[in-house]
Structure 1
Amino acid sequence: MVDIILVIPPSPDHRKIARFSFQSFESKGSYLFQPREYLAITSCLKPGDGAVFIDGTCDNLEDEDFFCQLQETDKGDILFFSLSNVCWDSDYDYFRKTVKLFPDMPVYVSGDIFLDMDFREKILSDCDGVVFLPYELNLEKMAAFRKTDVESLPGVSTKSEQNVFSDPRKITKVLEGSPRHELFLKPGYRFPFARHKEFATVVTAYGCPNACSYCGSSNFPPAVRSHEAVLREMEHLADLGIKELFLYDLTFGFYKKESIPLLEEMKRRFGFSWTCFTNHQVCTPEFLELMYEAGCHTIMVGVDSTRVETLKNYKRSFRKDKLESLIEKANRLKMSVCADFIIGLEDETEDDIRSTINYALKLPIDFASFNVIVPTPGTLIRENLKKKGVSSADLTNFDSLGHAGNIGNKHLSGQRIIELRNDAVKKFYLRPSLILRRLRKTSSWKHFTIQFREMLSLFAKSFIRTKNI
């Protein structure tokens, strides 16, 4: 038997910061995603194994309450701690104080910042390993790591130069196992597109099949779960009374050998309401219709920029005709669409950014997520800045909202990029036509209150003090 302790520290000023290994971010509204990697870790538990979960961010814990909960955790064989590039200074301080409470317990960390070798080397002097592939873990070996001569662990980097990733384009199969969702059904987790307040996160495939070099997820090889395993997980969620799902694949539908039979069974057996990320290159109109029939009401798609030359430089594949065809089909099905945009990519001028914003205003979509450029660990953007002499330490605490400022590009200051992003938010969301469109698509009073809360928080966060480098 193995007992694990999963820890997420409080965030500075109670900000809604989601910590992931591929890219962490601050919520642009009042939502907070469930911890995808911790869900995967609990799927590695065996019957009889135990788990305790403490989330200082979700539960808005003050320091005293956070450390009190830790001290009340009287048993455990492994401690997992999640950190972020977005609030590294704060997270690392909590981490150092936490490990002092458990001096004899093996400690493993996760977080996007450890895609940067400088920080991976730093943290490995304080812990036993960095988790990158949480669905591969052997918890028994991890618990005994300090007492054995084992030098490597599945899915874990135990040395700074160690590469745990396989061929980034090779698809692997994930071993069977279901997360312990009961641990993560906290009221502090909120999903912005949900039609029901309580939701659960389901992952059918880890990693990403795309190679976009401005995104940290391109480092993670695709790993696919069988549709049978996912359906068993959904049966459990239905028994728990869950009606809303977030299918948190980075590109849902890229491996149709599993996703098509999954959707067919979801359509036949369940009545879930759900949302997912997908891509216009893999989600055909026919596939989207099957998603809709299986309960999908909202899709999130990446547009990023209208400057095709810039996207090509980052290995981003973009076809405007396919994107618009997908959005048109979604509108015919009365589905909602959220499009993601990046403001301030390298080489982009203000005119380029305004072109992207105008395209967002032109598209018949329901939501737009405008993200300022970020030197995310594991991306070409960060590596280029380091080659220019910027230290890794000076590239922490930034995120796509711009709360802590922005790096800027060769044409625009960080301050100007944030101003353009905030201007885009106002232009997009204050249109009477969009407000009317959203009211028409509101399915219930509860749905309306969720949407209204997110809108208020979005505007509150679009007027923030910033810093630049």
Structure 2
Amino acid sequence: MIQFEKILLLNPPGENIYLRDYYCSHASKAHYYWGPYDLIALSGVLKNYFELAALDAMQHRLTPDETIERVLEINPDAIIFLTGAVSFVEDFALMRQISEKCERKIHIIGTGDCLLAEGDKFFAEYSFLDAAILSFISDDIVKYLKGETGPFNHISFRKSDGGIEKGGLQFPKEEFYIPIPRYDIFPFKQYRIPHGLRLPYAGIITDYGCPFHCDYCIGGELGFRLRNLENVLEEMRELKRLGVRELWIKDLTFGVHKKRTQELLRRMRDEEFNFTWVCLSRVNVLDEELLMEMKAAGCHTIQLGIESASEELLEQYTKGITVEQVKKVVEMCRRIGIRILAHYILGLPGDTVESIRKTIRYAIQLNAEFASFNIAMPRMGTAFRQEAIQKGLIRDDLATLDNSISQPVYETPELDRATLWALRNEAIRRYHLRLSFIFRRLLGVRTLYEFTTLFREGFSLIASTRKGK
């Protein structure tokens, strides 16, 4: 039996700035880079059993050769590396080199959206891949590294005979607990989010997965579990002790259980954490009472998946919201003083030039403080991907996954790639270059960090529209 003592948590380098966390990978549109939450959470799961090291090669902007040199210096018994659909070609090329250059066998374990959704293909393609983690909140990885033979619910692994023991995604219904992560081994004070107010910031979750099932998102396939509330507060106390001032609450839908959320907000106020924070939610979860309590507890920005002005597309892809619900919640947030980061999806099958321009006009009408216009991506593990394969829009192989979310990977009878890319750029320019929007954003700046971020990320975003497809 292999004895594992030293484990390296590795976020690989890349040709671009890749954001690969919580089973969602894409390239940064500008210069922002937030921490790899999956690895940070896993450091808590593993810390009581193994010697841990972490290497965020993306944050340190290391080259592949520099990363390999660092890995060989650390000399771990096993590497847990983060990967994603946007970068897996680079990630696995790096891991192959590491496996070949090490004088002894290093156990290689991956985690990320591509392994979660299509692990069989990766095990078949990459013989050096020993295991894949299917949930970063599960302690199955501890059992696996301790030598238990499985099967495991949240680990797929290569058996001694070469066969693959597949894990699943079934969760118990009780609350989960994550030991406080080893923040000291990550450069967390160097991480940045484009919509934050202060530094340093840290990510945290109060639940896992999502109870909703949008066809283009993998979140609904993760199940849904609540994190023990005392465990959440315990981590917040530690973050306060470490000097963290800003939180990104990374729940896929903050506020699903209203009474529990209100209890959390009350405790945050009572303990006087004084965090400012950002979260993700949905318009059919939020109401005025909850928004006011969120504001009182420090929330300044909510990310909302608004997606499209087309009611037909919202229904077709099971978003479960209406245009009127969106308008109502955006107006409530404006009245209460909470900013909105509105996410839009352009180019879903059925979208046309006119429907996309309608969405652009809709976005301008809503006039959120932040707007993110994204090309539709048939993400692995989603119903949308299966639809795209069945319609012949993409091939069912690994090669079609090596694309940034910012770039079109298919075309439809209504939209070719060049037209879709041009519409994406049109949306960014029409939205962000309005004088009224620019003045409003400048007048709303609250901190020096926000001011410098606004200019740096704004210029980078506009510059991205000049890049050809």
* TM-score of the superposed pair, with normalisation by structure 1: 0.91
Q: Which runs of 5+ in 2 are unaligned?
A: 159-163
- Structure 2 residue 151 is matched with structure 1 residue 152: yes
Distance change >3 Å, CA 388–CA 116, structure 1 → 2 = farther
CA distance in 2, matches of 1:311, 1:120: 33
Deviation at 1:28?
Answer: 1.6
Contact between 1:245 and 1:274, CA under 8 Å: does it hold in 2? yes
Q: Which runs of 5+ in 1 are unaligned?
A: none
- Structure 2 residue 376 is matched with structure 1 residue 377: no
Letter in 2 for 1:95: M
Deviation at 1:87?
Answer: 2.1
Deviation at 1:77?
Answer: 4.0
Q: Which runs of structure 2 are paired with 1:244-323 in the superposition (5 Å)? A: 244-269=246-271, 270-323=273-326
Deviation at 1:49?
Answer: 3.6
Deviation at 1:70?
Answer: 0.5
- Structure 2 residue 50 is matched with structure 1 residue 86: no
Aligned to 1:215: 217
Distance change >3 Å, CA 377–CA 347, structure 1 → 2 = same
Deviation at 1:451?
Answer: 1.6
Distance change >3 Å, CA 84–CA 265, structure 1 → 2 = same
Aligned to 2:95: 95
Aligned to 2:170: 166
Aligned to 2:161: none
Deviation at 1:409?
Answer: 2.2
How many residue pairs end up in the alignment?
456
Letter in 1 for 2:400: L
Contact between 1:310 and 1:347, CA under 8 Å: does it hold in 2? yes
1:224-283 deviations in Å (ceiling 9; x for gaps): 211211111011111111101111111111133432211111122210011011111111
CA distance in 1, matches of 2:52, 2:269: 33
Aligned to 2:199: 197
Which piece of structure 1 moves more, 194-203 or 377-386?
377-386
Deviation at 1:118?
Answer: 5.0
Letter in 2 for 1:166: Q
Contact between 2:198 and 2:447, CA under 8 Å: does it hold in 1? no
* TM-score of the superposed pair, with normalisation by structure 2: 0.91
Deviation at 1:424?
Answer: 0.3
Contact between 1:137 and 1:153, CA under 8 Å: does it hold in 2? no
Aligned to 1:459: 462
Aligned to 1:26: 27
Distance change >3 Å, CA 64–CA 105, structure 1 → 2 = closer
Aligned to 1:185: 187
Aligned to 2:7: 4
Contact between 1:248 and 1:276, CA under 8 Å: does it hold in 2? yes
Deviation at 1:46?
Answer: 4.1
1:140-171 deviations in Å (ceiling 9; x for gaps): 422244xx5x132342123768351127xx85
Contact between 1:120 and 1:130, CA under 8 Å: does it hold in 2? no
Letter in 2 for 1:69: R
Deviation at 1:122?
Answer: 2.6
Deviation at 1:184?
Answer: 2.9
Which piece of structure 1 moves more, 226-235 or 81-90?
81-90
Deviation at 1:21?
Answer: 5.2
CA distance in 1, matches of 2:186, 2:388: 37
Percent identity for Structure 1 against Structure 2: 28
Distance change >3 Å, CA 207–CA 101, structure 1 → 2 = farther
SS of the aligned residue for 1:301 comes to strand
Aligned to 1:341: 344
1:205-236 deviations in Å (ceiling 9; x for gaps): 11111101111222211122112111110111
Distance change >3 Å, CA 409–CA 391, structure 1 → 2 = same
CA distance in 2, matches of 1:177, 1:68: 31
SS of the aligned residue for 2:46 comes to coil
Contact between 1:106 and 1:142, CA under 8 Å: does it hold in 2? no
Letter in 2 for 1:80: I
Distance change >3 Å, CA 90–CA 294, structure 1 → 2 = same
Which piece of structure 1 moves more, 254-263 or 271-280?
254-263
1:439-468 deviations in Å (ceiling 9; x for gaps): 1211122221122111112112222232xx
Over aligned residues, Cα RMSD in angstroms?
A: 2.1
Deviation at 1:410?
Answer: 2.6
1:349-386 deviations in Å (ceiling 9; x for gaps): 11111111110000031111000011211122322333
